[in-house]
Amino acid sequence: MRPRYDWRGAGLRYYAYSFFLRSHFGQRVQRVSVDAGFTCPNVDGTVAVGGCNFCDNRSFSPSRRLPRLRIQDQIEEGIRRLRLRYRCQRFLAYFQPATNTYAPVDRLRTVYEAALEDERIVGLVIGTRPDCVPDDVLDLLEEFGRRTWLSVEYGLQTIHDASLDWMNRGHHYDAFQDAMRRSRGRGFEIGAHVILGLPGESRADMLATARELARHQVDSIKIHNLYAVRNTPLGEQVVRGEVQLMPREAYVRSVVDVLEVLPPTTIVERISGEAPPDYFLGPDWCLDKPGLRAAIDEEFARRDTWQGKACYTEGRDESASGLDGRWPPAGRPEESPGSTGQGGR
Ligand code: SF4
């Protein structure tokens, strides 16, 4: 079992990923994005076509914007680039774009092994969908989890099936619950990716998602607001004015709300999202990451609160953040243009 690092003793308001990595590995550790060339079952037609309405893998995965190299060469090049910015000796290979367990076990083994050939790699991070981890894949992940530090990130986004359908995820919340049940106790860390500000989701809906993650005791969480990139169904809806993206003030309050109800043991891998300027459409405030972090810190201080403060509290005052009434605007827009309407499994 992972030791519990004293993030509050370090003066933090939440269990920041950088603090965890430094505590766990005893030094700075950075992630190197790796593209193993996988696709995704709601892109190739297995569960849906068109992909999630917000998705362009190039917008969130540096490795998919580059010419595809061998895994070992991607790691070499990624480390070279990271070292231009950071004084860092150890790295995690982050299998990031698309669905990184969506292949036969033999192929998965080959690409994970390739990453571990580099002695500077001290662990693996594998991003995937909760409906793409059959038992033989979990057996493989368990095996790698015995050899190295391993984190498996499940894209959840929300527990609300209507929102998952709107996004064209191609799975429902039950897939996440099933993946959690079969993944637990296998020795690797389990993360969840969540989006706040989905059209039609109220503050209560977002808190319900957070409480479910608390109940499942995920080891780590990634949070960001819904943002739009070009040439996606969501981007087109935003341009046409059919979808309103969450204002910064509402997002700041929502992040603090969510972190308050998560257990203090959940590592917070990120609290913001962005894309390169060539891809990014909005909202513009996403691009000011330092400003956003400062606003979130100020909100924590204003409420004198911290991660986990409301984790075990029943019947707390749900109006404490003062958010209701300003977000969200009523209603959920029609299905995105790229959606097939086959989001349900
Ligand atoms: S599951 Fe991930 S990779 Fe696949 S379409 Fe959705 S966001 Fe993109």
User: Is position 1 within any domain?
Assistant: no
User: Is position 174 within any domain?
Assistant: yes
The alpha carbon of residue 20 and the mean position of all alpha carbons in its chain are separated, in whole angstroms, by 17
Q: What is the pLDDT of residue 69?
A: 84
Q: Are 23 and 9 in contact (CB under 8 A)?
A: no
Three-state DSSP at 69 gives coil
Considering only CA atoms, which residue is closest to atom 5 of ligand 1? 51
Report the 10 Å Cβ neighbour count for 292: 22
Q: Are 250 and 221 in contact (CB under 8 A)?
A: no
How many domains would you assign to the chain?
A: 1
Pocket test for ligand 1, best of 39, 56, 57 (most atoms within 8 A of CB): 57
Q: Are 58 and 305 in contact (CB under 8 A)?
A: no
Considering only CA atoms, which residue is closest to atom 8 of ligand 1? 55
Nearest to 264 by CA among 207, 299, 212, 220: 220
User: Is position 2 within any domain?
Assistant: no
User: Is position 242 within any domain?
Assistant: yes
Considering only CA atoms, which residue is closest to atom 2 of ligand 1? 98
Report the 10 Å Cβ neighbour count for 10: 12
The dihedral region occupied by 50, where left means phi > 0, alpha psi between -120 and 50, and beta the remainder, is left
User: Is position 292 within any domain?
Assistant: yes
User: Is position 334 within any domain?
Assistant: no
User: Is position 12 within any domain?
Assistant: no
Amino acid at site 16: A
- In whole angstroms, how far apart are CA 82 and each of 59, 76, 125, 190? 18, 10, 17, 25
Task: Write out the chain's pLDDT in tens, 345 residues.
Answer: 567 799 999 999 999 999 999 999 999 999 999 999 999 999 999 998 889 999 987 766 666 667 778 999 999 999 999 999 999 999 999 999 999 999 999 999 999 999 999 999 999 999 999 999 999 999 999 999 999 999 999 999 999 999 999 999 999 999 999 999 999 999 999 999 999 999 999 999 999 999 999 999 999 999 999 999 999 999 999 999 999 999 999 999 999 999 999 999 999 999 999 888 899 999 999 999 999 999 999 999 999 999 999 997 444 444 444 444 344 555 454 444 333 322 222
Strand-pair category, 228-229 with 280-282: antiparallel
Place of tokens 């986990």: 308
- For residue 178 the two structure tokens come to 């099933």
DSSP secondary structure of 287-345 = G-HHHHHHHHHHHHHHHT--TTTTTT-TT--TTTT--TTTSSPSS-PPPPTT--S----
Nearest ligand 1 atom to the CA of 127 is 2
- In whole angstroms, how far apart are CA 135 and each of 140, 141, 203? 9, 10, 35
Which domain range does residue 142 map to? Answer: 17-303
Q: What is the pLDDT of residue 274?
A: 85
CA 45 – ligand 1 centroid, Å = 12
Confirm or reject: Cβ of 259 under 6 Å from ligand 1: no
| Cα end-to-end span (Å), the chain | 34
**CATH code where residue 61 lies:** 3.20.20.70
How many residues belong to the chain?
345
Nearest ligand 1 atom to the CA of 56 is 8
Confirm or reject: Cβ of 175 under 6 Å from ligand 1: no
User: Is position 147 within any domain?
Assistant: yes
